[in-house]
Protein backbone atom coordinates (compact mmCIF):
# COMPACT_ATOMS: atom_id res chain seq x y z
CA UNK A 1 0.00 0.00 0.00
CA UNK A 2 1.45 3.34 -1.05
CA UNK A 3 2.13 6.25 1.24
CA UNK A 4 -0.25 9.21 1.25
CA UNK A 5 0.32 12.90 1.83
CA UNK A 6 -2.47 15.41 2.39
CA UNK A 7 -1.94 19.15 1.87
CA UNK A 8 -4.44 21.40 3.64
CA UNK A 9 -4.20 25.11 2.87
CA UNK A 10 -6.72 27.77 1.87
CA UNK A 11 -4.13 29.63 -0.22
CA UNK A 12 -4.15 28.21 -3.74
CA UNK A 13 -0.59 29.21 -4.61
CA UNK A 14 0.82 27.61 -1.46
CA UNK A 15 -1.11 24.43 -2.16
CA UNK A 16 0.25 24.38 -5.71
CA UNK A 17 3.81 25.02 -4.55
CA UNK A 18 3.57 22.15 -2.07
CA UNK A 19 2.12 19.87 -4.74
CA UNK A 20 4.90 20.76 -7.18
CA UNK A 21 7.49 20.18 -4.46
CA UNK A 22 6.08 16.79 -3.53
CA UNK A 23 5.47 15.56 -7.10
CA UNK A 24 8.96 14.08 -7.02
CA UNK A 25 7.77 11.68 -4.29
CA UNK A 26 4.81 10.71 -6.47
CA UNK A 27 7.11 9.92 -9.38
CA UNK A 28 9.91 8.22 -7.42
CA UNK A 29 8.05 6.44 -4.62
CA UNK A 30 4.42 6.22 -5.73
CA UNK A 31 3.26 8.55 -2.95
CA UNK A 32 -0.35 9.69 -3.41
CA UNK A 33 -1.08 13.40 -2.96
CA UNK A 34 -4.40 14.83 -1.84
CA UNK A 35 -5.37 18.44 -1.19
CA UNK A 36 -8.03 20.23 0.82
CA UNK A 37 -8.92 23.92 0.98
CA UNK A 38 -9.95 24.29 4.60
CA UNK A 39 -9.76 22.51 7.93
CA UNK A 40 -13.16 20.86 7.71
CA UNK A 41 -12.46 19.36 4.29
CA UNK A 42 -8.99 18.38 5.51
CA UNK A 43 -10.42 16.53 8.50
CA UNK A 44 -12.87 14.65 6.25
CA UNK A 45 -9.98 13.54 4.02
CA UNK A 46 -7.88 12.53 7.03
CA UNK A 47 -10.76 10.34 8.21
CA UNK A 48 -11.46 8.80 4.81
CA UNK A 49 -7.91 8.41 3.41
CA UNK A 50 -5.83 8.09 6.59
CA UNK A 51 -2.77 9.83 5.12
CA UNK A 52 0.68 9.06 6.52
CA UNK A 53 1.60 12.74 6.52
CA UNK A 54 -0.40 15.98 6.55
CA UNK A 55 0.93 19.45 5.79
CA UNK A 56 -1.59 21.58 7.64
CA UNK A 57 -1.96 25.34 7.50
CA UNK A 58 -2.97 26.94 10.81
CA UNK A 59 -4.92 30.00 9.72
CA UNK A 60 -7.88 28.70 7.71
CA UNK A 61 -11.62 29.27 7.45
CA UNK A 62 -14.21 26.91 8.98
CA UNK A 63 -11.70 25.04 11.15
CA UNK A 64 -8.14 26.09 11.89
CA UNK A 65 -5.08 23.85 11.94
CA UNK A 66 -4.98 23.67 15.74
CA UNK A 67 -8.57 22.41 15.85
CA UNK A 68 -7.87 19.81 13.16
CA UNK A 69 -4.76 18.69 15.05
CA UNK A 70 -6.66 18.39 18.32
CA UNK A 71 -9.47 16.42 16.68
CA UNK A 72 -7.11 14.01 14.91
CA UNK A 73 -5.21 13.34 18.14
CA UNK A 74 -8.45 12.50 19.93
CA UNK A 75 -9.77 10.04 17.35
CA UNK A 76 -9.19 6.34 17.37
CA UNK A 77 -7.45 4.97 14.31
CA UNK A 78 -5.80 8.28 13.44
CA UNK A 79 -2.86 8.02 15.85
CA UNK A 80 -0.41 7.21 13.03
CA UNK A 81 -1.20 10.36 11.07
CA UNK A 82 1.81 12.67 11.25
CA UNK A 83 0.94 16.36 11.11
CA UNK A 84 3.33 19.13 10.09
CA UNK A 85 1.89 22.56 10.82
CA UNK A 86 2.64 25.31 8.30
CA UNK A 87 2.16 28.89 9.32
CA UNK A 88 3.13 32.47 8.70
CA UNK A 89 3.14 32.92 12.48
CA UNK A 90 6.62 32.07 13.68
CA UNK A 91 6.07 32.83 17.35
CA UNK A 92 7.44 30.40 19.92
CA UNK A 93 4.08 30.29 21.70
CA UNK A 94 2.38 29.21 18.45
CA UNK A 95 5.01 26.55 17.84
CA UNK A 96 4.65 25.20 21.35
CA UNK A 97 0.86 25.10 21.09
CA UNK A 98 1.10 23.18 17.81
CA UNK A 99 3.51 20.62 19.22
CA UNK A 100 1.44 20.22 22.38
CA UNK A 101 -1.59 19.43 20.22
CA UNK A 102 0.30 16.58 18.62
CA UNK A 103 1.97 18.03 15.54
CA UNK A 104 5.31 16.36 14.81
CA UNK A 105 6.80 19.46 13.23
CA UNK A 106 6.15 23.18 12.93
CA UNK A 107 7.36 25.02 9.83
CA UNK A 108 7.01 28.69 9.03
CA UNK A 109 6.11 30.24 5.69
CA UNK A 110 7.67 31.08 3.36
CA UNK A 111 9.11 27.58 3.45
CA UNK A 112 12.05 26.08 1.62
CA UNK A 113 10.84 23.43 -0.87
CA UNK A 114 13.97 21.35 -0.22
CA UNK A 115 13.17 21.33 3.48
CA UNK A 116 9.57 20.24 2.77
CA UNK A 117 10.90 17.42 0.60
CA UNK A 118 13.44 16.42 3.24
CA UNK A 119 10.87 16.38 6.03
CA UNK A 120 8.48 14.36 3.85
CA UNK A 121 11.09 11.73 3.05
CA UNK A 122 12.10 11.52 6.69
CA UNK A 123 8.50 11.19 7.95
CA UNK A 124 7.55 8.62 5.29
CA UNK A 125 10.78 6.69 5.64
CA UNK A 126 11.59 6.78 1.92
Rg (CA), the chain: 13
Range of the domain at 9: 4-124
Q: State the pTM of this model.
A: 0.95
Q: What is the pLDDT of residue 94?
A: 84
Whether 83 shows a pLDDT value over 90: the answer reads yes
Q: What is the CATH number of the domain that holds 63?
A: 3.40.50.2300
Q: Average pLDDT, stretch 99-108?
A: 92
Residue 81: left if φ>0, alpha if ψ -120 to 50, beta else—which one? beta
Q: Are 78 and 44 in contact (CB under 8 A)?
A: no
Helices (H) and strands (E) in the chain, counts: 5, 5
Whether 89 shows a pLDDT value over 80: the answer reads no
Model confidence at 91, pLDDT cuts 50, 70, 90, reads confident
Model confidence at 61, pLDDT cuts 50, 70, 90, reads confident
Neighbouring CB atoms inside 10 A of 44's CB total: 11
What's the CA angle centered on 98, arms 25 and 46, to 5 degrees?
A: 50
Contact residues for 12 (Cβ-Cβ < 8 A; gap 6+): none
Neighbouring CB atoms inside 10 A of 23's CB total: 12
Structurally, the chain folds into a number of domains equal to: 1
Whether 48 shows a pLDDT value over 70: the answer reads yes
Model confidence at 11, pLDDT cuts 50, 70, 90, reads very high
Q: What is the pLDDT of residue 1?
A: 64
Amino acid sequence: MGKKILIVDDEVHIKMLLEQTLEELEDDFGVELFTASDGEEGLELIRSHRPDLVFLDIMMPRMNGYEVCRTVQGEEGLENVKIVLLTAKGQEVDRRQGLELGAVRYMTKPFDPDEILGVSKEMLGV
